[in-house]
Amino acid sequence: MHSSVTRSAAKILALTALLLSAGLTWAQSQSLTVTAYPAVDDIIRSALPAWRKLHPDVEIKLVSRNFDDHHTVMNTALSTASNLPDVMVLEFSRVGRYIDGGGLEDLSKPPYNIQLVRSKFIPFAYQQATARNGGVMAAPADVGPGTLLYRTDVLSKAGLTEAELTRSWDSFVASGDKIKASTGAYLISHARDLKDIIIHSNIKPGDGLYFDAAGQVLVDSPRFVHAFELARRVRQHKIDAKVSAWSNEWTQGFNNGTIATQVSGAWLAGHLASWIAPKTTGLWRAAQLPDGAWADWGGSFYVIPRGAKNKALAWEFIQLMTLDRDIQLMAFKTKDAFPALLAAQTDPFFEQPIAFLGGQKARLLWREAALNSSAISVNKLDAIAEEIVDTELDKVLNHGKDIALALADAKRLLDRRVRR
């Protein structure tokens, strides 16, 4: 009897220890670490009440860093498989570095099966998250439809119409000559901006900015020749302000009307209205890009690192942020994050006039641009390619280097990187 009691007690103690152990592990797992950058971090904070309704016992630990630091830290974490969060936010220009690197969960495989909801996303955004092996390594949250923002007062003084400004890229540059002659204002902030928007426009399906579907370098293609030629003409005609984006001179130019236009993602209109140039309300309008071009300009994606500890909860969180119509609309209304979710694009909010743009219903233009943009395939060498191309463009603009030679040199340097 004593022995039997002892054995029973021992079993109870062992079972209790096991349950306590399991309970401790369960308790420790009830947090989800998410890393992001501004303003996605604010969007996540705003979504926390909705998350708590789903999982009141699961804390979201949000780690936010500035844009560059965030991607640098995430690159290190993925490269070393250490200090990994459960969910990462990546910006489109940085997705290529990670998408084929093997450090991310393939969301097309069970238990995720993101392909089952593919039709819910803007087609090009979903395609941009797709690796060359067919795996889907990220879930799109927002996109950046390309747009042309322009000062109506400057155009009026120059005797120009929107149609003249946007008829073609040549007419766009010619309009800059008229603007400079009659008002003294510059057409754009930097000739590089014109190069950027042209190489982002009308990408052949399957190709990326710098590499084709087979990974071959494209920087000596007609698209780049055209972009470099127009950028050089803008500089030669002295109609770019030679100021870089986000500098003090850049914001001053928008405020005082010395920069007449800006080609960018639609999100810039919100930045102009909220903090860059709020006193210029009513003076700006949006238009489609010149020459009938369509382009995407940025966007945010959610990914799960392969070494994440809470993958099931991570996927639930990502679905909330990317597939919940209310949250997608909240992000658009508060942070100008244009929704990648098609269901969010049918909301009456798109038809509301925008005071900053003189009452224009510009969101309808941006929706059209988003639906017409082609997918831009990403490549792990995109960031390096951008640096090389920009360096060669600077040599053309500042030192008169021949365009054909500049692009040939860029191709040679990239070919060397591809062969490594």
Q: For the chain, give the secondary structure using H, E and C.
A: CHHHHHHHHHHHHHHHHHHHHHHHHHHHCCEEEEEECCCHHHHHHHHHHHHHHHCCCCEEEEEECCHHHHHHHHHHHHHHCCCCCCEEEEEHHHHHHHHCCCCECCCCCCCCCHHHHHHHECHHHHHHCECCCCCECCEEEEEEEEEEEEEHHHHHHHCCCHHHHHCCHHHHHHHHHHHHHHHCCECECCHHHHHHHHHCECCCCCCECCECCCCCECCCCHHHHHHHHHHHHHHHCCCECCCCCCCHHHHHHHHHCCECEEEEECHHHHHHHHHHCHHHCCCEEEECCHHHCCEEEEEEEEECECCCCCHHHHHHHHHHHHHCHHHHHHHHHHHCCEECEHHHHHCHHHHCCEHHHCCECHHHHHHHHHHHCCCCECCCCHHHHHHHHHHHHHHHHHHCCCHHHHHHHHHHHHHHHHCC
Query: CB within 8 A of 382, min separation 6: which ones?
Result: 93, 96, 97, 208, 209, 210, 211
Beta bridge partners of 259: 186
Counting beta carbons within 10 angstroms of the beta carbon of residue 27, is it exposed (0 to 12), middle (13 to 18) or buried (19 or more)? Answer: exposed
Distance (Å, rounded) from C-alpha 364 to C-alpha 179? 28
Cα radius of gyration (the chain): 25
The whole-number pLDDT of residue 128 equals: 86
The whole-number pLDDT of residue 380 equals: 84
The whole-number pLDDT of residue 5 equals: 37
Residue 183: which of 124, 239, 229 has the closest Cα? 239
The whole-number pLDDT of residue 355 equals: 97
178-192 pLDDT, tens digit each: 999 999 999 999 999
Q: What is the pLDDT along the chain (420 residues), one digit of tens a residue?
A: 444 434 444 443 443 344 334 333 333 458 999 999 999 999 999 999 999 999 999 999 999 999 999 999 999 999 999 999 999 999 988 887 788 778 999 999 999 999 999 999 999 899 888 887 889 999 999 999 999 999 999 999 999 999 999 999 999 999 999 999 999 999 999 999 999 999 988 788 888 899 998 899 999 999 999 999 999 999 999 999 999 999 999 999 999 999 999 999 999 999 999 999 999 999 999 999 999 999 988 899 999 999 999 999 999 999 999 999 999 999 999 999 999 999 999 999 999 999 999 999 999 999 999 999 988 888 889 889 999 999 999 999 999 999 999 999 999 999 999 988
Count of alpha carbons within 13 angstroms of residue 291, beta-carbon side: 16
Beta bridge partners of 151: 284
The whole-number pLDDT of residue 298 equals: 81
Distance (Å, rounded) from C-alpha 346 to C-alpha 199? 30
Q: How many CB atoms lie within 10 A of CB 273?
A: 18
Query: CB within 8 A of 28, min separation 6: which ones?
Result: none
The model scores a pTM over 0.75: yes
Domains and CATH numbers, the chain: 30-143+298-351 (3.40.190.10), 147-295+354-418 (3.40.190.10)
Count of alpha carbons within 13 angstroms of residue 10, beta-carbon side: 6
The whole-number pLDDT of residue 132 equals: 79
